[in-house]
Amino acid sequence: MNVLKLSPEELIKYCYQCGRCTGICPLGEISFYSPRILIHNALMGKPVDPQRLAQCSTCDLCSSKCPMDVMISEFVREERHKLRQSGMILEEAHFGIFSTLARLMAKKTWKANLNDYFPKEIQFSDTSEILIFTGCMSLFETYFEYKYTNIAKSAVKILNHLKIKPQILKEQVCCGHDLFWGGDYENFRLLGEQNIELIERNGVELVITICPECYRTFKLDYPRYVRNYNFKVISFSEFLDLELKEGTLIFPYEIPRTITYQDPCRLGRQLGVYDAPRNVLKAIPGIKLKEMERSREDAICCGVSAWMNCNLYSKAIRMDRLLEAQQIADTLITNCPHCLIHFNCLKNEYAETEKKYTLEILDFKEFIAKALLLG
Amino acid sequence: MLEVAEHPLIELITNADLLDVLGYIGNFDVTIRKNPRFVDESKCTGCEACVHVCPVYAPNKFDVGLGYRKAIYRPFDQAVPNAVLIDPEKCIECHLCVRECEPKAITFDQKPEIRTLNVGTIIVASGFQTYNPIGEFGYGKFANVITQVELERLLAPNGPTTGEVIRPSDHTEPKKIVMIQCVGSRNLQNNLHCSGGVCCMVAIKNATLLKQHIEYADITICFMDIRAAGKGYEEYFLQSRKNGIKYLRGNIANIKEDPETKDLIIRVEDTLSQDIIDLQANLVVLSTAMEPASSTEEISKILRLEKSADGFLKEFHARLDPINTKIPGIYLAGAVQGPKSIAESVAAGKAAASSAAIPMIKKVHEIIKLEAIIDPERCSGCGLCINICPYQAISLEDNIAKIDTILCRGCGMCAAICPSHAATLRAYRDTMLENYIDALLSEF
């Protein structure tokens, strides 16, 4: 993608107005949202409608279909940045608490407390060359009802099981993904600087991310918008896939379940990691991995990213997706904590009604930990 | 073709490959390999008695694989010469055809024949190929997605279905047909170039023909822009709209197959009304792009011709001289130079024939004395100029560069690269240019 290495503003001039983006857009199906009109208006010099900008979930399904490789999601991000610079405040879900916390972290006035979340049986090493970047799990846990730190704990437990004692940095801050996609470049750069400086100072060779949004930010956005760094970044599923190929990761217990896998937009379309998590899941005995009709490159997202656009439309996308998953499997595995938050939110909302969703929604890392009987 | 074959002054060599071309205008040495057809052309009457007994079936290339042919076959009905040939890859050498052939034309001992021809001029007309859309829009995955070329063979009276349009999955007549334009063209992934409006006109023509074949056909053409540029084209486009063919401005977002009926469901945004539509279709036809023939690469190397950015052979000047090439005596005809319709190809063919006839009749080729010269005392024989010369006009003789004055076009590449300043342009020597500059500056 993006062979010409042009900026999103330049790339939109390549647009043919062919309408492929709007035809494939999960929002275009249910609302009057149209990426094509967004680009057309920008090309005609009309002011961009802030509500439309906020609606986009930046899932990149449109860009993957675009004949001219127009990076529509990046264009949306740039436009949000411009709006923010002009003094406009874009509405955010959950009263903007997560962006506010991230901004506080960027200004070093507040810090998430990671100490309480890791029990003693989890082993760390302060000199290890492998770092596990846990992201914002503790923040999610304080706000939502689900035990999100379990995801981080499970990831570390799996690493311990593979006889790896990773390093964890208590001073780590948010990667800045949500600020970045909300158009707040200034605070994003501050966060990026802090993280890169911290990781480089501690002599880390390899950073394992457990959240696809952190992975994308480290891999694509830090080198382009913050600065280059001298460590490697890998996603947890890719790391497990490598361990699986080396033969160190073995699943001894049988788990008879029919599962399906939700490709997070950040990990799938934007970074091309489709096979690694599937390989790991398929290696568990007794597992039947079924593919949804819209999977891999055509997967639709959970409807929200960067806390920008939680509304009835994104809920409709989620309902559609959960029904699609429920028809073929009893468990939906996702790799992204954001997908987990959004799907669980919908599931809880309908838990008491007749339309309740019967399928179980689990995180990839938690599921693997369970398969290894690690908790 | 038949007229050409019967002309006393034209020798037609078919089933041959170009191996090498040396020399210059008026004196080209062309080496070709005539591949064996295992049938004596002079004896074969084209009665096809051998074809009937042949037990081996293979996909028919002329029908783009829709029909079949035998291992011994006539390529198509109007083939010139009117003789059969044997496909050595498919033939099992049962020799049933040898017994059947009355004029004893079949000989299995033919070998490839290398011939060298001395010719004055060369016309390149090696044509184009259509883009293979495998994997795009469900082509190759869904049975009822076909290309325009395949539809054209279905429509043809001498095609595999003798002119009856049927869908591949259940051989029924399609009622709802959707055509998709710009497949394999106008995108950054594989080909940015437009096929010159040819696919637009082919789609309009095939839609009009389909409408004549199937009275109640519901034909929709999904397009980005209709490029009906040419004499009578716009009127033809208008006529097709009058005939009831629907034009929908939008590119296909998604295509799905109904597993039971094998119908296709196409998601597309009608960009003019901003509606997102699910089109139902019995048959989907892809208008695939014209791209350079696979042989173009090899031919460009043998003939020392350049290629344009789109991969077609490069003409001398895109506007003022589209027939000549940078090498005098080599001319381009038809779609080897770029996507062309039939009318344009005919015009280019006639133009190439006329251009080639001029030096052949005049027996004179004028060259401009704007050429590079080598100072033999300075030349060290390093060979840098040989590699950089785009016209292959330089060779080494006694370790000194020698310039072929007929091939040299005076571009000055050798003069620029020569480390010992041995190569200069006759009319643009450094001292002359310095004098120009001095004269210009002296006015101030």
| Model pLDDT for residues A25-37, shown as the tens digit of each residue | 998 888 888 999 9
Q: Which residues on chain A are in Cβ contact (under 8 Å) with B178? A: none
> Closest approach of chain A CAs to the CA of B44, in angstroms?
51
Return d(Cα B255, Cα B324) in angstroms, integer: 45
Percent of chain A with pLDDT over 70: 98
> Count of A–B CB contacts within 8 Å?
65
- A174: nearest Cα among A76, A278, A97, A101: A101
Same domain for B168 and B75? no
Same domain for B40 and B155? no
Tens digits of residue pLDDT in B72-125: 999 988 888 889 999 999 999 999 999 999 999 999 989 999 999 999 999 999
Last residue of a domain, one of B111, B145, B161: B111
Classify residue A318: in a domain, yes or no. yes
Q: Which residues on chain A are in Cβ contact (under 8 Å) with B274? A: 22, 32, 34, 37
State the CATH number of the domain containing residue B106.
3.30.70.20
Last residue of a domain, one of A46, A62, A85: A85
Reading the block at residue A252, the tokens are 């001894």
pLDDT above 50 for A132: yes
Q: What is the pLDDT averaged over residues B394-399?
A: 90
Classify residue B44: in a domain, yes or no. yes
Same domain for A282 and A329? yes
Last residue of a domain, one of B229, B263, B291: B291
pLDDT above 60 for A4: no
Same domain for B203 and B103? no
- B182: nearest Cα among B151, B225, B220: B225
Residues 304-363 in A contacting B (C-alpha not used; CB under 8 Å): none
Return d(Cα B230, Cα B220) in angstroms, integer: 23
Q: Which residues on chain B are in Cβ contact (under 8 Å) with A68? A: 187-188
Classify residue A3: in a domain, yes or no. no
State the CATH number of the domain containing residue B204.
3.50.50.60
Same domain for A236 and A353? no
Tens digits of residue pLDDT in B17-50: 999 998 889 999 999 999 999 999 889 998 999 9
Same domain for B174 and B281? yes
Same domain for B66 and B153? no
Same domain for A218 and A98? yes
Same domain for B54 and B136? no
Establish if A6 touches chain B: CB-CB under 8 angstroms: no
Q: Which residues on chain B are in Cβ contact (under 8 Å) with A39? A: none
* Cross-chain residue pair B268–A23, CB shorter than 8 Å: yes
Classify residue A221: in a domain, yes or no. yes
Classify residue A2: in a domain, yes or no. no
What band does A3 get if pLDDT is binned at 50, 70 and 90? Answer: very low
Instruction: Output the pLDDT for position A1.
Output: 43
* Cross-chain residue pair B189–A67, CB shorter than 8 Å: yes
Same domain for B153 and B72? no
Instruction: Output the pLDDT for position A2.
Output: 45
Return d(Cα B163, Cα A267) in angstroms, integer: 50
- Kindly give, in sequence order, each residue whose CB lies less than 8 Å from that of residue B77, ignoring residues fewer than 6 positions away: B158
Classify residue A1: in a domain, yes or no. no
How many residues appear in chain A? Answer: 375
Tens digits of residue pLDDT in B299-309: 999 998 989 99
Q: Tell me the β-bridge partners of B256.
A: B265
Reading the block at residue B92, the tokens are 């099992």
Q: How far apart are the first and last CA of chain A?
A: 40
pLDDT above 80 for B63: yes
Q: Which residues on chain A are in Cβ contact (under 8 Å) with B251? A: 16, 18-20, 23, 67
Q: Which residue has the tokens 């938690």?
A: A366
Q: Using CB atoms, pick whichever of B189, B224, B250 lies closest to residue A23.
A: B250
What band does A87 get if pLDDT is binned at 50, 70 and 90? Answer: confident
Most B CBs within 10 Å, among A5, A10, A16, A18, to test the B interface:
A18
Classify residue B325: in a domain, yes or no. no
Same domain for A259 and A363? yes
Establish if A43 touches chain B: CB-CB under 8 angstroms: no
What band does A187 get if pLDDT is binned at 50, 70 and 90? Answer: very high
Q: Using CB atoms, pick whichever of A3, A36, A69 lies closest to residue B269.
A: A36
Q: Which residues on chain A are in Cβ contact (under 8 Å) with B254? A: 23-24, 298
Reading the block at residue B255, the tokens are 């295509």
Classify residue B343: in a domain, yes or no. no
* Cross-chain residue pair A23–B276, CB shorter than 8 Å: yes
Instruction: Output the pLDDT for position A93.
Output: 83
Most A CBs within 10 Å, among B190, B225, B276, to test the A interface:
B276
Q: What's the 3-state SS for chain A? A: CCCCCCCHHHHHHHCCCCCHHHHHCHHHHHCCCCHHHHHHHHHCCCCCCHHHHHHCCCCCHHHHHCCCCCCHHHHHHHHHHHHHHCCCCCCCHHHHHHHHHHHHHHCCCCCCCCHHHCCCCCCCCCCCCEEEECCCHHHHHHHCCCCCHHHHHHHHHHHHHCCCCCECCCCCCCCCHHHHHCCCHHHHHHHHHHHHHHHHHCCCCEEEECCHHHHHHHHHHHHHHHCCCCCEEEEHHHHHHHHHHHCCCCCCCCCCEEEEEECCCCCCCCCCCCHHHHHHHHCCCCEEEECCCCCHHHCCCCCCCCCCCCCHHHHHHHHHHHHHHHHHCCEEEECCHHHHHHHHHHHHHCCCCCCCCCCEEEEHHHHHHHHCCCC
Last residue of a domain, one of A242, A263, A288: A242
For residues A151 and A144, the answer to whether their CB atoms sit within 8 Å is no
Same domain for B107 and B133? no
> Closest approach of chain B CAs to the CA of A12, in angstroms?
13
Last residue of a domain, one of A42, A67, A85: A85
Same domain for A291 and A353? yes
Instruction: Output the pLDDT for position B178.
Output: 96
Establish if A212 touches chain B: CB-CB under 8 angstroms: no
Same domain for B228 and B177? yes
Range of the domain at A106: 94-242
Q: Using CB atoms, pick whichever of B186, B271, B276 lies closest to residue A67.
A: B186
CA distances from B48 to A259, A335, B52, B72, B79 (A): 60, 65, 7, 9, 13
Range of the domain at B277: 129-291
Establish if A296 touches chain B: CB-CB under 8 angstroms: no
pLDDT above 80 for A5: no
State the CATH number of the domain containing residue A288.
3.40.50
Chain A residue with minimum CA distance to B223: A18
Same domain for A105 and A219? yes
Tens digits of residue pLDDT in A188-209: 999 999 999 999 999 899 999 9
Establish if B182 touches chain A: CB-CB under 8 angstroms: yes
Return d(Cα B351, Cα A365) in angstroms, integer: 70
Q: Using CB atoms, pick whichever of B188, B249, B270 lies closest to residue A69.
A: B188
Instruction: Output the pLDDT for position B219.
Output: 96
Instruction: Output the pLDDT for position A325.
Output: 93
- A162: nearest Cα among A246, A233, A243, A234: A243
Same domain for B136 and B285? yes
**Mean pLDDT value across chain B:** 92
Instruction: Output the pLDDT for position B248.
Output: 95
Q: Using CB atoms, pick whichever of A14, A19, A68 lies closest to residue B271.
A: A19
Reading the block at residue A287, the tokens are 């597992």
Establish if A22 touches chain B: CB-CB under 8 angstroms: yes
Return d(Cα B251, Cα B247) in angstroms, integer: 12
Classify residue A147: in a domain, yes or no. yes
Establish if A50 touches chain B: CB-CB under 8 angstroms: no
Same domain for A81 and A123? no
For residues A258 and A330, the answer to whether their CB atoms sit within 8 Å is yes
Same domain for A160 and A105? yes
Q: At what angle do helices B198-213 and B233-242 cross, to 10 degrees?
A: 40
- B385: nearest Cα among B412, B408, B409, B417: B417
Classify residue A323: in a domain, yes or no. yes
Same domain for A226 and A153? yes
Instruction: Output the pLDDT for position B409.
Output: 84
Burial A12-35 (b: 16+ CB within 10 A, else e): bebbbbbbbbbbbbbbbbbbebbb
Classify residue A62: in a domain, yes or no. yes
Same domain for A155 and A272? no
Classify residue B153: in a domain, yes or no. yes
* Cross-chain residue pair B268–A19, CB shorter than 8 Å: yes
Q: How many domains does chain A fold into?
A: 3
- R_g (Cα) of chain A, nearest Å: 20
* Cross-chain residue pair A19–B270, CB shorter than 8 Å: yes
What band does A119 get if pLDDT is binned at 50, 70 and 90? Answer: confident
Instruction: Output the pLDDT for position B290.
Output: 94
Classify residue B305: in a domain, yes or no. no
- R_g (Cα) of chain B, nearest Å: 28
> Closest approach of chain A CAs to the CA of B413, in angstroms?
30
pLDDT above 80 for A223: yes
Same domain for A313 and A366? yes
Classify residue B353: in a domain, yes or no. no
Establish if A20 touches chain B: CB-CB under 8 angstroms: yes
* Cross-chain residue pair A23–B269, CB shorter than 8 Å: yes
Establish if A16 touches chain B: CB-CB under 8 angstroms: yes
Chain A residue with minimum CA distance to B187: A67
Classify residue B287: in a domain, yes or no. yes
Same domain for A318 and A353? yes
- B356: nearest Cα among B327, B317, B320, B335: B327
- Which of A2 and B165 is assigned the larger pLDDT? B165
Establish if A223 touches chain B: CB-CB under 8 angstroms: no
CA distances from A241 to A247, A283, B189 (A): 10, 10, 30
Classify residue B120: in a domain, yes or no. no
Percent of chain B with pLDDT over 70: 100
Same domain for B382 and B416? yes
Q: What is the pLDDT averaged over residues B421-440?
A: 89
Same domain for B240 and B150? yes
- Kindly give, in sequence order, each residue whose CB lies less than 8 Å from that of residue B311, ignoring residues fewer than 6 positions away: B291, B292, B296
Q: How many domains does chain B fold into?
A: 3
Last residue of a domain, one of B242, B266, B291: B291
